[in-house]
């Protein structure tokens, strides 16, 4: 039981870890301090965790990584939307 609680708490923290960055990017309409490489590398890692969770049929891993992947996808969208509109092209 304790490990399920720890796993659920860890999953919750992970799922919502990019919300502050999304909020900041939307507020400032800037992504100048966001690293494209980090976003893509982390997205790949989260996607692999999601696949692993599906293979293991582990609901906590599946939900946590699905939500995290969606928030990363939103941040990547904002990266291109605000980065290109401000004359920035990826690559930091």
Cα–Cα dist 86/92, whole Å:
15
Q: What share of the chain is helix, strand, coil (3-state, %, to 5)?
A: 80, 0, 20
Q: What is the pLDDT of residues 62-77, one digit of tens each?
A: 999 999 999 999 999 9
Extents of the domains making up the chain: 2-85
Would you tell me which CATH number, out of the four given (1.10.357.10, 1.20.1090.10, 2.60.120.10, 1.20.1280.290), belongs to the domain 2-85?
A: 1.20.1280.290
Residue 32: pLDDT band with limits 50, 70, 90: confident
Residue 4 is given by DSSP the state H
Its pTM stands at 0.81
Q: Decide if 36 contacts 48 (C-beta within 8 A).
A: no
CB 76 within 8 A of CB 43: yes
Q: Identify whether the C-beta of residue 84 lies closer than 8 Å to the C-beta of residue 28.
A: no
């Amino acid at each position: 039981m304790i490990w399920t609680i720890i796993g659920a708490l860890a999953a919750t923290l992970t799922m919502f870890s990019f919300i502050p960055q999304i909020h900041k990017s939307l507020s400032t309409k800037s992504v100048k301090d966001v690293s494209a490489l980090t976003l893509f590398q982390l997205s790949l890692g989260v996607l692999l965790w999601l696949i692993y969770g599906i293979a293991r049929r582990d609901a906590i891993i599946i939900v946590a990584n699905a939500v995290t992947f969606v928030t990363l996808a939103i941040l990547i969208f904002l990266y291109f939307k605000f980065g290109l509109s401000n004359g920035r092209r990826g690559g930091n």
